[in-house]
């Protein structure tokens, strides 16, 4: 783990050196944004595969509805029939999860690298990166630190407010898309009864995108910057990949 963190820290440092003539004191923050974009570009083929799988599942909806009518009273038989249909059509039910799963290691690396609890005084693995800033806000700091140093509208607090505005705008966009998708998706039935708890899930699901606000508020600023960049990329990417679907993109996840 230590060797991996050292390699990762060197990568971020080299990117920051390349961007320093343009961004000066915020070069490390810009390097994190660029690193996030590179991660998303690497994951993009998986996102495209996920989009193809989602569109294929949408085409199979009438057949799944028929299977539900046929095996509605036997959930195990219904699930087996659906999996068999997916297998025949070469559709993976897990394809939508892969892009998010492949991004988690990069997030945790940033979290550890810029976490004061994981990096001590900023030496060693982090290479002193805890001293780097975005504007006036340290990349190793949190929103609580910004509130304690100048308050909500202080120099550091304003950096977080800008990030919160971006997250809120992206979450609102995802909220509208998720509401449209849920409205166009028939409720999942178990025989003649709606699956227990599905109503509550339907109400909560559109709000999940706003959970990103809490993530940005509580993780180190560097990790929050990764989350903001990734979720914004994800919203734009989904809008492009699912533009030809009649009801928009699939249900959005809080993680992006």
Per-residue pLDDT tens listing for the chain (256 residues) = 677 778 888 888 899 999 999 999 899 999 999 999 999 999 898 888 878 777 777 777 788 788 888 877 778 888 888 778 777 766 666 655 667 777 788 888 888 888 754 444 444 555 567 778 998 999 999 999 999 999 999 999 999 999 999 999 999 998 888 777 666 655 544 444 444 444 555 567 667 778 899 999 999 999 999 999 999 999 999 888 887 765 554 544 444 5
User: CA nearest 224: which of 148, 183, 166, 153?
Assistant: 166
- For the chain, the helix, strand and coil percentages under 3-state DSSP, each to the nearest 5: 75, 5, 25
In a domain? residue 249:
no
**Helix or strand run (H / E) with residue 19:** helix 2-23
255 assigned to some structural domain = no
Cα dihedral sign, 114-119-122-124: negative
What's the pTM value of the predicted model, to 2 decimals? 0.77
Element (H or E) spanning 133, and its range? strand 133-134
Taking the CA atoms of the chain, what radius of gyration do you get in angstroms? Answer: 22
Answer whether residue 63 is part of any domain: yes
What is the pLDDT at residue 159? 96
* Cα 75 to Cα 207: distance, rounded to the nearest angstrom: 29
251 domain-assigned: no
Tokens of 70: 């046929």
Q: Is residue 248 part of a domain?
A: no
pLDDT the model gives residue 116: 52
**Does any domain span residue 130?**
yes
Domain annotation covers residue 253: no
Alpha carbon distances (Å) from 222 to 33, 40, 133, 215: 9, 17, 9, 12
What are residue 133's DSSP bridge partners?
A: 138
Q: Is residue 157 part of a domain?
A: yes
CA-nearest of 199, 171, 169 to 187 is 199
pLDDT at 185: 55
Q: Which domain holds residue 183?
A: 2-241
At 90, list the tokens. Answer: 């070469």
The tally of CA atoms less than 13 A away on the side-chain side of residue 103 is 26
Compute the distance between CA of residue 255 and CA of residue 122 in angstroms, rounded to an integer.
28
Q: How many domains does the chain have?
A: 1
pLDDT at residue number 254: 45
pLDDT given at position 126: 52
CA 156 vs CA 4, 147, 185: distances in Å: 31, 8, 43
């Amino acid at each position: 783990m230590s060797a991996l963190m050292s390699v990762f820290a060197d990568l971020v440092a080299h990117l920051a050196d390349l961007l320093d003539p343009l961004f000066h004191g915020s070069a490390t923050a810009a390097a994190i944004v660029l690193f996030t974009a590179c991660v998303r570009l690497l994951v993009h083929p998986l996102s495209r595969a996920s989009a193809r799988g989602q569109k294929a599942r949408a085409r199979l909806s009438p057949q799944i509805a028929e299977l539900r009518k046929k095996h509605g009273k036997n959930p195990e038989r219904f699930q087996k029939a659906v999996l068999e249909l997916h297998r025949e059509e070469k559709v993976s039910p897990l394809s939508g999860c892969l892009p998010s799963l492949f991004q988690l290691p990069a997030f945790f690396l940033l979290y550890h690298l810029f976490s004061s609890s994981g990096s001590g005084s900023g030496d060693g693995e982090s290479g002193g990166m805890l001293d780097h800033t975005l504007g006036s806000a340290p990349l190793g700091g949190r929103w609580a630190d910004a509130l304690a140093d100048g308050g909500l509208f202080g120099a550091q607090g304003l950096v977080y407010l800008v990030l919160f505005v971006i997250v809120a705008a992206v979450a609102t966009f995802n909220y509208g898309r998720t509401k449209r998708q849920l409205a166009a998706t028939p409720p999942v039935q178990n025989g003649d009864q709606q699956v227990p708890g599905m109503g509550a899930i339907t109400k909560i699901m559109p709000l999940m995108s706003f959970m990103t606000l809490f993530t940005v508020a509580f993780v180190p600023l560097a990790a929050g910057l990764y989350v903001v960049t990734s979720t914004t990329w994800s919203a734009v990417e989904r809008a492009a990949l699912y533009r030809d679907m009649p009801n928009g993109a699939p249900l959005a996840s809080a993680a992006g």
